[in-house]
Amino acid sequence: MDPLIEVRDLTKTYSAGAARSWALRGVSLSMARGEFAAIMGRSGSGKSTFMNIVGCLARQSSGVYRLDGIDVSRLSRDELAAIRNTKIGFVFQSFNLLPRTSAIENVELPLLYNRTVGSTSRLVRARQALAMVGLEGLEGRHPNELSGGQQQRVAIARSLVNSPEMILADEPTGALDTRNGVELMAIFQELNRRQGITILLVTHDPDIAAFARRVIRFRDGLVVDDETIRRPRDAHEALAETMPAAGVPAGADGGSR
């Protein structure tokens, strides 16, 4: 079976006037279905650039990227949009929720662009996704009525709603405090273990990366280290140990061993 993500000699250059700067200098790696990987590296090392290409939001300058066996560099703008819609869920550092729009409508957004989903099942699926991240009952809240952690969970629900193959999260905990960050990781671990969703996230924080089962390190546009973690930390346990009073977030209840 093909790996879900396969990149070879991937480069990306930005031309600023006459000068060319290299964001990626030849990245090769592959990720199987069901993996949970964290990308680490200094600022400017090319992590976001890599994520954007993997997420079909940008195209590489050279090299090959196969997603699910498909060479996506050959696809049109709208075909890429369709892949983003159905195969990939994005979670951003700054949440990127629509203001003045309820949580449930934010979650429904990707379904508006999926023509196989009717308006009734749109609502059902959005409700389910919100329940999965422990936000049932808050469907009608607008982003400004939600905490940062809750907003990021709405964003995760939005990334889940089309049942994607993988979730790409570029510094998802960057705007959250430690506790909310760990709760987010609990949700990711849950999704990864229970539903087999492939998760690739970027983080600066080694404590966050410790929840992943694989850590990939970038430096100056190259992969310099790629290690598999035998026994990753369990986010539920971490929550129970360090912050027993706060309890476990609803909907992420089955994880502790």
Partner 1 sequence: MRSMAPPVRMAIRALRANSVRSGLTILGVVIGVAAVIATVAVGSGARDRIQKQIASIGSNLIVVLPGSLTASGIRLGTGNALSLTEDDARALAAECPSVALAAPVVRQAQQVVAGVSNWATGIVGTTPDFLAVRDLEVARGAAFTWQDVDGAAKVALLGETVVRNLFPAGGAVGQSVRIRNVPFIVVGVLAPKGQSPSGQDQDDVILIPISTAKKKVLGSSLASAGAVGSIMTQARSAAVIKTAQEEMRSLLRQRHHLQTPQEDDFTIRNLEDVFNAQESSARVMAMLLAAIASVSLLVGGIGIMNVMLVSVTERTREIGLRLAVGARTRDILLQFLAEAVVLASAGGLLGVVAGLAGAAIISRIAGWSIVLSGPAILLAFFFSGMVGVFFGFYPAQKAALLDPIEALHYE
Ligand X SMILES: Nc1ncnc2c1ncn2[C@@H]1O[C@H](COP(=O)(O)OP(=O)(O)O)[C@@H](O)[C@H]1O
Which residue, 161 or 239, is less far from partner 1 as judged by CB? Answer: 161
Site string for partner 1, 115-144 (x = CB under 8 A): x--xx-------------------------
Beta-strand (E) ranges in 193-257?
198-202, 214-219, 222-228
Among 61, 73, 114, 178, binds partner 1 (CB under 8 A): 114
Among 74, 100, 230, 257, binds partner 1 (CB under 8 A): 100
41 touches ligand X by CB under 6 A = yes
CA distance 122 to 109: 9
CA distance 128 to 148: 21
SS3 state at 200: strand
151 touches ligand X by CB under 6 A = no
Q: 10 burial class (0-12, 13-18, 19+ CB within 10 angstroms)?
A: buried
Among 1, 17, 74, 78, binds partner 1 (CB under 8 A): 78
14 binds, among Mg ion, partner 1, ligand X, none (CB under 5 to 8 A by kind): ligand X
203 touches Mg ion by CB under 5 A = no
Residue of closest CB approach to ligand X: 48
Helices (H), the chain: 47-54, 77-87, 103-112, 119-132, 148-160, 178-195, 206-209, 235-242
Which residue, 41 or 110, is less far from ligand X as judged by CB? Answer: 41
77 binds, among ligand X, Mg ion, partner 1, none (CB under 5 to 8 A by kind): partner 1
Q: Applying CB under 6 A, what is the total number of residues that bind ligand X?
A: 12
| Binding to Mg ion in span 39-78, by CB under 5 A | 48
Interstrand relation of 19-31 and 5-16 (parallel, antiparallel or unpaired): antiparallel
- DSSP secondary structure of 161-196: TT--SEEEEESTTTTS-HHHHHHHHHHHHHHHHHH-
48 touches ligand X by CB under 6 A = yes
| Binding to Mg ion in span 210-249, by CB under 5 A | none
Closest to 31 (Cα-Cα) out of 61, 67, 58: 67
47 touches ligand X by CB under 6 A = yes
The residues that touch Mg ion, with contacts defined as CB under 5 A, are: 48
